[in-house]
């Protein structure tokens, strides 16, 4: 799977491509060991690890073009890589991401004794302006959920359960599609999210989510599954695990049916959950824990959004905060 695509600047080029027609891909085993370290020791997701891999292979091939066979290079080589990205009109966000991957790689190489010093430590990248999260109003969320619940087909039950769960818990789309059937505890009204990663957590959900999940698991999942054996919670029409791309298309279709004009992605519902929860009865520590944020600073932005764009009203599908 390829890393995230940047739509704000130049189209991402395959790692190692050059204006002259591309350089031969060099094999650098240290990159693969670093990626294994990120996934197995640091607990990063496959998608994040894949993005690191794409960026580091591009840097490795840049080193090859500069005649460097190892990682021991002067700081000017690292800054030259950044200048190359700028000259090819990569967006500032892409530049920052690629430089962050290079810096993380060098920290690992220093710790492993592969290099004696980090040539990237004093290299600064482009300043990236953090975008304000996009949210929808509570009334728009209600319309979206109603559109998903309007179908009595197996796919309709599935779509309703996914959207109620997403908006009722604020989970990431990658976490939703990674769910196994054993991750849902209907009796305790919780979902185990991020299994096997450093973001693993148990999230409570409310009665609307219970109803939607129960209908899907009782009436629809077996029809989608057919004769296959599959442990994934949410299935496509072939009985296989639903993909992130498939989920995005489902949300886009229901947003169109609900006549919601603003752009809606799975992350829009995550942002909306946080803003709406804070506007109702949520606290920063609670929402931070549910979203899996490492720092409360990341969650703070939702306080500003909570008072905007009709964030008032009952929060569909959410579990009220417990007294403890």
Residues 6 or more apart in contact with residue 39 via CB below 8 angstroms: 45, 46, 49
With 60 as the cut, is the pLDDT of residue 111 above it? yes
Give, in degrees to the nearest 5, the angle at Cα 19 between 15 and 21.
Answer: 75
From the DSSP assignment, how many helices (H) and strands (E) are in the chain?
A: 13, 3
> Has residue 133 been placed in a domain?
no
Closest CA to 203 of 107, 274, 104: 274
- Cα dihedral 259, 264, 269, 271, rounded to 10, equals -130
Tokens standing for residue 12:
């991402």
Q: How many domains does the chain have?
A: 2
For 153-179, write each residue's pLDDT tens digit: 999 999 999 999 999 999 999 899 999
Strand 190-193 versus strand 184-185 pairing type: antiparallel
* Weakest-pLDDT range from 14-18, 33-37, 101-105, 234-238: 14-18
Q: How far apart are CA 276 and CA 311, in angstroms?
A: 5
The 8-class DSSP code of residue 201 comes to E
Give, in degrees to the nearest 5, the angle at Cα 192 between 190 and 194.
Answer: 145
203 phi and psi, to 5 degrees? -120, 130
- Are 119 and 142 contained in the same domain? no
- Are 119 and 145 contained in the same domain? no
Q: What's 57's domain CATH number?
A: 1.10.150.130
For 183-204, write each residue's pLDDT tens digit: 999 999 999 998 888 788 999 9
Domain ranges, residue 193: 138-306
Q: How far apart are CA 282 and CA 124, in angstroms?
A: 37
- The average pLDDT across 43-57 equals 86
Q: What's 166's domain CATH number?
A: 1.10.443.10
> Has residue 122 been placed in a domain?
yes
- Are 112 and 149 contained in the same domain? no
> Has residue 73 been placed in a domain?
yes
> Has residue 183 been placed in a domain?
yes
pLDDT band per the 50, 70, 90 thresholds, residue 229: confident
- Are 118 and 184 contained in the same domain? no
């Amino acid at each position: 799977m390829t890393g995230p695509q940047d739509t704000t600047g130049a189209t991402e080029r395959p790692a190692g491509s050059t204006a002259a027609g591309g350089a031969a891909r060099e094999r650098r085993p240290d990159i693969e060991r670093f990626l294994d370290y990120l996934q197995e020791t640091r607990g990063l997701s496959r998608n994040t690890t894949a993005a690191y891999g794409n960026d580091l292979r591009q840097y490795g091939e840049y080193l090859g073009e500069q005649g460097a066979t190892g990682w021991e290079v002067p700081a000017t080589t690292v800054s030259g890589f950044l200048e190359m990205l700028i000259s090819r009109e990569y967006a500032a966000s892409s530049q920052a991401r690629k430089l962050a991957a290079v810096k993380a790689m060098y920290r690992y190489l220093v710790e492993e004794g592969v290099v004696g010093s980090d040539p990237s430590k004093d290299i600064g990248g482009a300043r990236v302006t953090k975008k304000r999260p996009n949210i929808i109003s509570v009334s728009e969320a209600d319309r979206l959920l109603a559109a998903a619940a309007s179908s009595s087909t197996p796919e309709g039950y599935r779509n309703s359960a996914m959207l109620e769960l997403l908006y009722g818990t604020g989970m990431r789309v990658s976490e939703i599609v990674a769910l196994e059937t054993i991750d849902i505890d209907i009796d305790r009204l919780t979902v185990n999210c991020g299994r096997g990663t450093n973001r693993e957590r148990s999230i409570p959900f409310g009665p609307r989510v219970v109803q939607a999940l129960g209908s899907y698991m009782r009436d629809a999942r077996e029809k989608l599954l057919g004769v296959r054996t599959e442990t994934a919670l949410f299935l496509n029409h072939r009985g296989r695990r639903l993909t992130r791309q498939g989920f995005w298309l489902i949300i886009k279709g229901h947003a169109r049916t609900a006549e919601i004009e603003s752009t809606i992605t799975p992350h829009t519902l995550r942002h909306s959950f946080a803003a709406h929860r804070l506007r109702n009865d949520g606290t920063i520590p609670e929402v931070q824990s549910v979203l899996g944020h490492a720092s409360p600073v990341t969650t703070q932005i939702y306080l500003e959004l909570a008072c905007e764009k009709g964030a008032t009203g009952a929060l569909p599908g959410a579990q009220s905060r417990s007294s403890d």
